[in-house]
Chain A
Amino acid sequence: MMAPRPSPAATRTPVAKFRTGLLMTLLLLVPAVALAHAILLRSYPAKHQVIDGKDVAFDFHFNSRIDGARSTLTLVTPDGKRTAIAPTSQPSQDSLTAHAANLAAGEYTVHWQALSSDGHISSGDVPFTVRRKD
């Protein structure tokens, strides 16, 4: 299973947690909540997978129904450029697929954002490596 994007809390130091925790104990709160339903169950490429070849057929499967027309996949290239990759089809209600061709060798990340059928938005990253053999 792919790990979802860390919650905001995951990036906070213990000192920051103490600040927030104690303030809450002091009864006035600074809540920080992860708003999410859809989580990524499996994907191709998997997280940190190494792919041989220049073409990649992306296949993302979620735990719930996804609004395919309003969910996105964004490819972050080795030089940091972000390109939206249009989902080609939605073979099932819980998946997103897309295709990218002629990728240069290097480390890439796919940033996914899913709008689930109940109206909640979630997102995450899948880093992978392209190794060209030709």
Chain B
Amino acid sequence: MLWFVQDFALLAVILRAITLSLQTLLLGGILFTLLILPAGPANQPAWLRCRCWIGRFGLAMTVPLLLSTAIDSALLMGTTELHLRDLLMADYVLWGAAAILAALAIYVIVRADIRSDIRADARAGTASRRRLHWLWAPAAVLLLAAVSSSHAVSRLDHRVPLSLLTGLHQAGAAAWVGGLAFLLIALAATKDDTAAGILLRRFVWIAATGAATIITTGIWLSLYYVGSWPALYGTAYGVMLIVKATLLCSLLLLGGLNWALARQRGDWAHKLGTSALLLVRRLAEVETAIGFTIILAASSLTSQPPAIDLVDGRLTGLEIIQRFTPIAPRFTSPPVGELAPATPLDIAVPDYDNAERAAAHQDRDPDIAWSEYSHHWAGIILLIIGIGALLSSFPRLRWARHWPLGFVALAIFAFLRGDPENWPLGPISFWKSFYDPEVLTHRIYYVIFLFYAGFEWGVQTGRLTSLWTARVFPVMLALGGAGLLLHNHAMGNEKNELLIEISHNAMGILAVFAGLGRWLEIQLPESRARRVTAHSWPVFLILIGCLLMNYREA
């Protein structure tokens, strides 16, 4: 049952991230389409496309909402003697049902509007705009439902102001991040350069308002939920908040750059034609990706108890400094025979609940030495890959373009060291090792990993020339980094777990930046901006390598 519960808990967080992302898109889309997108024939294609996407996102949102309500109910029924009828009036079921109905209502309103347009005459645009104002009602219900599943409603005091701040925070995120996604959708449908320029100038104001709202409400919420500096750096909640703030700073930097470009667009368009608009669009793509990474971090944050409640066992500044003070990498590994034997499932499951036994098990020196050695060598390989990528960005050093092959070395290394109880290091034969679902999953990952490293090698060496093949590597890199932010959060204050989490979070942020940097490089036309990007993103890979080389577990 515990494994069952654990898997469902993980699924619930992923569903939460999907729900929050779709909610941001939906609310942002409604705001953008009804408040930003000007009426008129030049914007008619953009209007039609935005409207369609609002409908699609509305329908899509019902799925994670339905699943998360069902999973929570299954969890409760599976672990208690409660029946389905006992849960029907639970708050999470009522708000979940309200959100599902609201998302469905959005879909129905949009579909009805599209059907009316087909029947109507040329004045359909104005009539449609008027009809779509009905969308505000379900949008408000969605926001209320989202607030009802936040920390705010479960607090013992200040519930109303906290709920208000949370609602404003999420609305600000929708205006900026969701609005950005719809700006890209609208720009893709707008052929007229002047109309695109007007759209950009109108959007920067709502984006700026959204950003200001996020920052102001975010500071107030942090003051309440964190309350002190030691809680900020010493708890899992605080650490995730730092991740969110770091990503937000990068988003503000890009947003500021886009703001400046959008305000000057008239001049730029005159001097540079469509290239300035292209740069704005590419930066907006990266902004959107960082925005959704922040939402991922936010959904991870909602699964943590607020830092202010975790008073005991916080990390101290000294402990963090000690752990991250650089040391020489380990170049010797204990023999595989000294490692703790793999725990059979029938023992591991009851052991799951036993903190003392688990702690004793994980603090074995040979296991720590094995793991640190593995991380350090992985770091060295990644450092070499990063340096190779950096060198290959200089025209005279094109021989370094084979750097993606370094990932093959990394995959082989992970294959050998990751499952030491299996062939070739352990007693379990190659074929028998596939009986273990965890090992099977790892092997599938290695193959997929080799697959996209191969893609990048093909791109770098000119064997693959289409744009979509070039996009595989940066997308996977950024997704991997974003996923790293979701994993392994210490629920209490297990110090060692938290210290490991800090290094994983740093690597996650760097991987997101590296992936998005590479994305910008391949998306931009030949220009100074492209060259600067090409020289910059490998630095993030190098930094990940350095972090891994300094990785410690004790």
A: which residues have CB within 8 A of B?
1, 3-15, 17-39, 41, 63-65, 67, 69-70, 72, 84, 93-94, 113, 115-123, 125
Min Cβ gap B170→A in Å is 14
Would you call A20 and B488 a contact (CB within 8 A)?
Answer: yes
Most interface-central of B13, B75, B353, B488 (chain A CB within 10 A):
B488
Contact with B489, one of A4, A33, A116 (Cβ below 8 angstroms):
A33
CB contact list, B333-376 vs A, under 8 A: 339-340, 348, 351-353, 355, 358-359, 361-362, 364, 367-368, 370-372, 374-375
Measured between C-beta atoms, what is the minimum distance from A124 to chain B in Å?
9
In the assembled complex, 23 residue pairs joining A and B whose CB atoms fall closer than 8 Å, in A order, are A1-B311, A7-B494, A8-B352, A10-B362, A12-B362, A14-B364, A17-B371, A18-B370, A21-B504, A23-B418, A26-B410, A27-B449, A27-B481, A28-B476, A34-B9, A37-B151, A39-B491, A64-B151, A64-B154, A65-B156, A72-B81, A118-B150, A121-B79
Inter-subunit contact A34/B303 (CB<8 Å): yes
Contact A119 B72 (CB under 8 A): yes
Chain B residues closer than 8 Å to A33, beta-carbon distance: 9-10, 13, 300, 303, 486-489
Q: Which of B154, B488, B500 contacts A31 (CB 8 A)?
A: B488
Name the one of B10, B305, B553 contacting A37, with C-beta atoms under 8 angstroms. B305
Using a Cβ cutoff of 8 Å, how many contacts connect chains A and B?
250
Q: Whole-angstrom distance from the CB of A55 to the nearest CB of chain B?
A: 23
Q: Which of A4, A24, A38, A118 contacts B153 (CB 8 A)?
A: A118
Shortest A19–chain B CB gap in Å is 4
Provide the residues of chain A in CB contact with B375, threshold 8 Å.
18, 21-22
A65 proximity list for chain B (CB < 8 A): 153-156
Residues A24 and B364 in contact in the complex (CB < 8 Å), given A18-B375, A41-B309, A118-B149: no
CB pair B76–A70 under 8 Å, yes or no, is yes
Contact A13 B340 (CB under 8 A): yes
Of B91, B370, B419, B449, the most chain A CB neighbours within 10 A belong to B91
Give A1 Cβ to nearest chain B Cβ, in Å. Answer: 5
Tell me the count of chain B residues lying within 8 A, CB to CB, of chain A. Answer: 98
**A64/B483 in contact, CB under 8 A:** no
Q: Which residue of A lies closest to B69 (CB)?
A: A119
Q: Give Cα distance in the complex from A67 to B76, angstroms.
A: 12
Which one, A3, A14, A125, contacts B370 given CB within 8 A?
Answer: A14
Residue from A13, A17, A32 in contact with B500 in the complex, judged by beta carbons closer than 8 Å: A17
Indicate if the CB atoms of B449 and A123 lie closer than 8 Å.
Answer: no
Is B420 part of the binding interface, using a Cβ–Cβ cutoff of 8 Å?
A: yes
The smallest C-beta distance from A94 to any residue of chain B, in angstroms, reads: 6
Partner of A23, one of B351, B445, B497: B445
| Chain B residues within 8 Å of A, Cβ to Cβ | 6, 9-10, 12-14, 72, 75-76, 79-82, 86-87, 90-92, 95-96, 148-156, 300, 303-306, 309-312, 339-340, 348, 351-353, 355, 358-359, 361-362, 364, 367-368, 370-372, 374-375, 378, 382, 407, 410-411, 414, 417-420, 441-442, 445-446, 448-449, 476-477, 479-481, 483-484, 486-492, 494, 497, 500, 504, 507-508, 511, 544, 548, 551, 553
Q: Using Cβ atoms and an 8 Å threshold, which residues of chain B touch A26?
A: 407, 410-411, 414, 445-446, 449, 480
When the two chains form their complex, are residues A31 and B10 in contact, meaning their CB atoms are under 8 A apart?
Answer: yes
- A contact residues around B359 at 8 Å (CB): 6, 10
Of A18, A28, A113, which is within 8 A of B449 by CB? A28
Q: Which residues of A contact B504 (CB under 8 A)?
A: 21, 24
Q: Are A36 and B491 in contact (CB under 8 A)?
A: yes
Among A24, A119, A121: residue with most chain B CB under 10 A:
A119
Alpha-carbon separation in the docked complex, A65 to B442 (Å): 40
Assembled-state Cα–Cα distance A7/B495 (Å):
12
Residues in A neighbouring B449, C-beta threshold 8 A: 26-28
Question: Are A39 and B310 neighbours in the complex by a CB distance under 8 Å?
Answer: yes
- Which 4 residue pairs of A and B lie closest in terms of their CB atoms, listed nearest first? A27-B480, A119-B92, A14-B371, A34-B491
A36 & B305 in contact (Cβ 8 Å cutoff): yes
* B548 and A25 contact, CB distance less than 8 A: yes
List the A residue with the shortest CB-CB distance to B410: A26
Point out the residues of chain A lying under 8 angstroms from B508, CB to CB. Answer: 24
Report chain B residues within 8 Å CB of A64.
151, 154-156, 305, 309
* A10 CB to nearest chain B CB (Å): 5
The answer to whether A39 and B309 touch (CB under 8 A), given A26-B449, A125-B353, is yes
Residue from A20, A26, A70, A120 with most neighbouring chain B CB atoms (10 Å)? A26
Is the CB–CB distance between B418 and A32 below 8 Å?
A: no
A5 lies within 8 A of B353 (CB): yes
Cβ-defined partner of B12 (8 Å) among A14, A35, A39: A35
Please give, as numbers and ranges, the residues of chain A lying within 8 Å of B378 by CB-CB distance. Answer: 22, 25
Cα of A69 to Cα of B61 in the assembled complex, Å: 29
Q: Which of A15, A28, A38, A119 is in CB contact (< 8 Å) with B95? A: A119
Kindly provide the distance from the CB of B145 to the nearest chain A CB, expressed in whole angstroms. 10
Contact status of A24 and B480, CB under 8 A, knowing A10-B355, A36-B303:
yes
B310: A residues at CB distance < 8 A: 39
